[in-house]
């Protein structure tokens, strides 16, 4: 990254401290359910606890409705929507933590066929400070935990600045203190980093066709800076203090929770709850407090695939991570915020009887199905668009639609389901949570997090 731009971001971050006021919260944990729009929340509640129950996040006393449009689109992608939370700035789709005038310029493929050539230039926008950088500059510890690749849009929006979210190799460089491309606004670095996608951090390997064409081993560089590098659940459990880089998949994201659990004893990946607990244990050793972002990132991926079961299972895993955090922190000095970066097109369909499984066919109280105009049953959950629109609808069965791999039917036929443009929900509890109420633009969440921390 251009050093002038990095210095600009650092100057802005430090300059912002002059406006500091009394803090309500010593610590902030920001949970993001990627793509967890209102319908996904409702379906997750029905899936986990039924109509009359509440998810752990729904038990938090404060709530708000969040508008998510980006600088250039009614329907946002994850890069500018997450960056709005972390910077307070509207930016164009695909852009991460840069000024509103930044153009999204995709990376090019390197000699190995990977998107390893960063095409962001010094005259294309300016970095804007993130809440993580401001917290770090104030002496707090900071962390980012995700079930996606660690360089994916949501975690990247906490620690990097880039004109296109797909420039993952350049994003990884920004997290390495002392290395080429380091984001100097991070001070001595992000204290806790956990996720997947080790290929963006390690040299190219022909065996998996992934890795860095420049030959850099960022895991080794971080090790030289005092980081403990862990790749398994058991190794993470042994970490008791200090900085940590956890990369729990060689290539791409962590497993869906449904698949992680199915592996049983063969599983080597930590759960989102385990990563959250460890991050809190490590970051809370700093007497000045911490900022932690935790993302349930694969909720979104399953929705794009129109696989509702995996999406809901991952949303439950995020809710369990919220429960884990609530069991470990003191809400008199810690603010917990749970929200989503954007919506999806999934909807709840028909008039199912109370208690009918949300993944099942729409059924009456006597177990009979409600049918379409052709006399065929249909599922409670469907998508507004995606690949699964048959010219003639099949006759579905409960066993089929409640299977792990069933893909819900869709309306408009597209190659992949898209995000939705609807508002999302935010839940908050703890120190400073009273700020969150009403209908808010996503950019205002940043200001309220900053105020709560006194930055």
Q: Is the sign of the CA dihedral 442, 418, 316, 364 positive or negative?
A: positive
Nearest Cα neighbor of 152 from 109, 197, 102 is 197
Task: Give Cβ neighbours of residue 206 (< 8 Å, ≥ 6 apart).
Answer: none
Distance CA(269)–CA(265), nearest Å, equals 11
Contact criterion met (CB below 8 Å) for 435 and 448: yes
Task: Report residue 153 CA to chain centroid gap.
Answer: 8
What 3-state class would DSSP assign to 349? coil
Nearest Cα neighbor of 158 from 211, 86, 88, 210 is 86
Catalytic choice (78, 99, 273, 352):
78
Distance CA(155)–CA(376), nearest Å, equals 43
What 3-state class would DSSP assign to 136? helix
According to DSSP, the β-strands at 439-441 and 244-247 are unpaired
Known catalytic residue at 81:
no
Contact criterion met (CB below 8 Å) for 252 and 197: yes
Distance CA(322)–CA(56), nearest Å, equals 7
Distance CA(185)–CA(133), nearest Å, equals 6
Name the residues annotated as catalytic. Answer: 78
């Amino acid at each position: 990254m251009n050093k002038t731009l990095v210095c600009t971001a650092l100057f802005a971050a430090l300059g912002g401290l002059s406006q500091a006021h009394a803090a309500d919260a010593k610590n902030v944990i920001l949970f993001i359910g990627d793509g967890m729009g209102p319908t996904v929340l409702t379906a997750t509640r029905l899936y986990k606890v039924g109509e009359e129950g509440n998810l752990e996040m729904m038990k938090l006393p404060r709530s708000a409705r969040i508008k998510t449009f980006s600088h250039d689109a009614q329907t946002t992608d994850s890069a500018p929507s997450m960056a709005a939370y972390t910077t307070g700035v509207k930016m164009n789709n695909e852009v991460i933590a840069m000024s509103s005038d930044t153009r999204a310029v995709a990376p090019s493929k390197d000699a190995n066929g990977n998107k390893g050539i960063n095409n962001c230039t010094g005259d294309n926008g300016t970095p804007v400070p993130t809440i993580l950088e401001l917290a770090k500059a104030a002496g707090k510890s900071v962390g980012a935990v995700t079930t996606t690749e660690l360089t994916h849009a949501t975690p990247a929006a906490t620690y990097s600045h880039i004109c296109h979210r797909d420039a993952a190799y350049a994003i990884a460089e920004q997290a390495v203190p002392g290395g080429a491309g380091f984001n100097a606004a991070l001070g001595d670095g992000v204290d806790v980093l956990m996720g997947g996608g080790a290929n963006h951090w390690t040299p190219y390997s022909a065996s998996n066709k992934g890795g860095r064409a420049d030959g850099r081993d960022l895991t080794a560089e971080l090790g030289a800076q005092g980081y403990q590098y862990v790749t398994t659940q058991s190794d993470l459990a042994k970490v008791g203090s200090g900085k940590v880089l956890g990369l729990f998949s060689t290539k791409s994201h962590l497993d869906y929770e449904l698949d992680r659990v199915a592996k049983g004893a063969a599983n080597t990946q930590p759960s989102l709850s385990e990563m959250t607990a460890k991050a809190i244990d490590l970051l809370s050793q700093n007497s000045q407090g911490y900022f932690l972002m935790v993302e349930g990132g694969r909720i979104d991926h399953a929705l794009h695939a129109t696989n509702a079961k995996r999406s809901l299972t991952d949303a439950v895993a995020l809710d369990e991570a919220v429960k884990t955090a609530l069991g470990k922190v003191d809400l008199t000095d810690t603010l917990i915020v749970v929200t989503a970066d954007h919506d999806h097109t999934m909807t709840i369909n028909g008039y199912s009887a109370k208690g009918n499984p949300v993944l099942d066919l729409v059924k009456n109280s006597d177990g009979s199905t409600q049918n379409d105009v052709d006399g065929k049953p249909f599922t409670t959950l469907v998508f507004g668009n995606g690949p699964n629109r048959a010219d003639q609808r099949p006759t579905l069965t409960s066993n089929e639609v409640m299977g792990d791999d069933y893909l819900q039917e869709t309306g408009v036929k597209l190659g992949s389901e898209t995000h939705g443009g609807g508002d999302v929900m935010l839940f908050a509890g703890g120190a400073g949570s009273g700020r969150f109420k009403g209908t808010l633009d996503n950019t205002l969440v940043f200001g309220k997090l900053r105020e709560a921390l006194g930055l």
